[in-house]
Amino acid sequence: MEQYHSLVREVLETGVEKKDRTGVGTISMFGAQRKYDLRQGFPLLTTKKVRFDGILRELLWFLKGSTNINDGLHEFTPIWDAWADPNGELGPIYGYQWRKWEKFTEDGKGGYVKSHIDQIQQAIDTIKKNPDSRRIIVSAWNVADIERMKLPPCHAFFQFYVAAGRLDLQLYQRSADVALGVPFNIASYAALLMMVAQECNLEPGIFTHTTGDTHIYLNHIEGLKKQLERTEFPLPTLKIAKKPFWDLKYEDFELQNYEHHPFIKFAVAV
């Protein structure tokens, strides 16, 4: 995971101080890219403990199309608690856009009929039927729904790429919290890449992480400097049960040989 550590150093060394929505303040740079080859191991940080159980539960929650933390998320991880309304609702965020993107078609009577597009299934179908397509994209950035979301998508859209029996994935993330969010995003999309590759009988290859506003909150700097002083351990392995994509449950994933340094606490900027 030297790629991640080099990103931390780059922001610390070249970033500029900026004010931000939360009021905490950041050191920020614009436009970064790192590549993680899943054939070399599962990209989960070892210089601090990362809660992969929370990452996996959030990913599976997204894939259900869920938008309420009480739908199998809140009892396991508080990731979204700070943004949910009193009923646990977050509005049409990631899961809704991935699985239920709203579509309106004319009904022939001067009105419109509402339906939904399952972008995840559409992507899987395209990989299987037309792997050379340059349109295998899933977007969470629905301009019409932004104001209805409690938090607009940070990881905005991603694209699959098939070549030589290998499946790659690139994510564009408009806003990247280097200390807290980025390690989660890397592991989450790496797991998604592995799930889709297995479903499509392809080898999981390279996850490319492209970030826009790439920032470190001022109250995270000391923790990250401490993390950079630590020696990396070998990357762990993620095993996934041989099941159809939509049948996979939390219990079907096994993180093996995850050796890590102690947890570092970073405050969440809301």
Look up tokens 């899987």; give the residue.
Answer: 124
* φ, ψ for residue 23, nearest 5 deg: 90, -5
Catalytic, 200? Answer no
pLDDT in the model for residue 33: 98
- Residue 35, amino acid: K
Domain ranges of the chain: 30-212+231-256
Which CATH architecture describes the domain 30-212+231-256? 2-Layer Sandwich (3.30)
Per residue in 76-102, pLDDT tens?
Answer: 888 899 999 999 999 999 999 999 999
pLDDT in the model for residue 10: 97
pLDDT in the model for residue 70: 95
pLDDT in the model for residue 270: 60
DSSP string covering the chain, please?
Answer: -HHHHHHHHHHHHH-EEE--TTSS-EEEEEEEEEEEEGGG-----SSS---HHHHHHHHHHHHTT--BTTTTTTTT--TTTTT--TTSB--S-HHHHHHHEEEEEE-SSSSEEEEEE-HHHHHHHHHHH-TT-S--EEE---GGGGGGSSS--SEEEEEEEEETTEEEEEEEEEEEETTTHHHHHHHHHHHHHHHHHHHTT-EEEEEEEEEEEEEEEGGGHHHHHHHHTSPPPPP-EEEE-S--GGG--GGGEEEES---PPP---PPP-
Which of 38, 59, 84, 154 is catalytic? The answer is 154
Contact 256, 68 (CB under 8 A): no
Structure tokens belonging to residue 48: 């601090």
Q: Which residues of the chain have pLDDT under 70?
A: 269-270
pTM for this model (two decimals): 0.94
